[in-house]
Amino acid sequence: MSRTNSEPKTNTRTQTGVTTRKSASRKSRTTKARKVMRPKPHIVKVGTRGSPLALAQAETFSRLLESVSGGLIYCEIETYKTQGDQIQDRRLQDAGGKGLFTRELDIVQQTSEVDVCVHSLKDVPNELAEGLVIGCYLEREDPRDALIGPYSALRDLPPGARLGTASLRRASQALYIRPDLEIVMFRGSVQTRLKKLQDGLADATLLAAAGLNRLGMTNQAAGFIPVTDMIPAVGQGIVCATIRADAPDWLKTACTAIDDNAARLAATAERAFLKRLDGSCRTPIAGHFCLTDTGAHMVGEVLADDGSTRWWAEGVLDRTPSELDAAELGLWVAEDIAEARNRKPEGKEPTP
């Protein structure tokens, strides 16, 4: 607790324009140092899933929030098990699709059990639960998919190789590149899926490079698949934090202070793209936005479940985008894909 020493007081009196001073030295006075009280820190309860990756993301958010508060915010992390965590025997699209990793967290946030919830953006439905808004986006990690196993590229896998994934998008994209692959259902945390691979349940698996980076496990990847070969899921690599719409101003201000503009623009464009195409876990859909030296670029695709058909489009913006520009770019790309599907149901190849 800091202390300040006060200066000797001087009394001032004015009479007919003449100022006279009564020196404090005529009468010895002692003044006690006044205590300067610091405001009591705000306790922010942060909700998250309990997996190692979810915890790492919540810890990163908490450190950032505390660092911009000047000691006025202290975060406490609370973990919860969601329905998505409990489903291990089938794909998410067979159990309700998007929202399986957020519903329980939405409830504890709506009831004020926690103040903030930290999510992987790709798990967050386009329509947020009532009363919740996205308070901030953290800087985007590597959005690419990583191939785990003895081969660094899908094209190098042996004929008929087994590829473990529970992602309909990854399965469809892999089959588009390699129709001979056998898709094996892999569910669980990063660690669980790596264990399944070690146990010989598949020859290779695909994981998000962002998750491996955040866990310090990049060395597990045999190779990283270029975005030009496998477009990531919408929002892949971005962490977001939801807050209540009526959250106190100090919390909204702190979230704004750690918000990453490039990640916000990417999230805005990609989620606008997803919403236009009604994308969900039941739809093999991919979209990726990035800033360029001259503006922005967006690419997206929709595939048939078996990878036999692909509809692809891209868009370019030749100026630094606003959030509105980013949303419109996502919509333009989505409209091109929607029109292509109507015009040519058998699919559309990407232009050179």
Neighbours of 112 (CB within 10 A): 9
Say if CB 266 and CB 258 are below 8 A apart: no
94 belongs to the catalytic site = no
Largest CA distance in the chain: 106
Could you give the 3-state DSSP secondary structure of residue 293?
coil
> Catalytic residue among 123, 142, 145, 259, which?
123
CB 99 within 8 A of CB 277: no
129: helix, coil or strand? Answer: coil
E strand map for 116-250: 116-120, 132-137, 145-148, 162-164, 182-184, 204-208, 223-225, 239-244
Question: What is the signed CA dihedral for 232, 238, 242, 245, rounded to 10 degrees?
Answer: -90
Q: Whole-angstrom Cα distance, residue 215 to residue 141?
A: 12
Looking at the chain, which runs of residues are DSSP E strands?
3-4, 11-15, 18-22, 34-35, 42-49, 73-80, 116-120, 132-137, 145-148, 162-164, 182-184, 204-208, 223-225, 239-244, 285-291, 296-303, 310-317
Other C-beta atoms closer than 10 Å to the C-beta of 292 total 11
- Residue that is written with structure tokens 């089938």 in the block: 90
Give whole-number Cα distances, 120 to 49, 75, 196, 237, in Å.
10, 19, 23, 7
Rounded Cα distance between 222 and 206, Å, is: 10
**Residues facing 324 on adjacent strands:** none
* Residue 7 CB burial class (10 angstroms; 0-12, 13-18, ≥19): exposed
Residues identified as active-site: 123
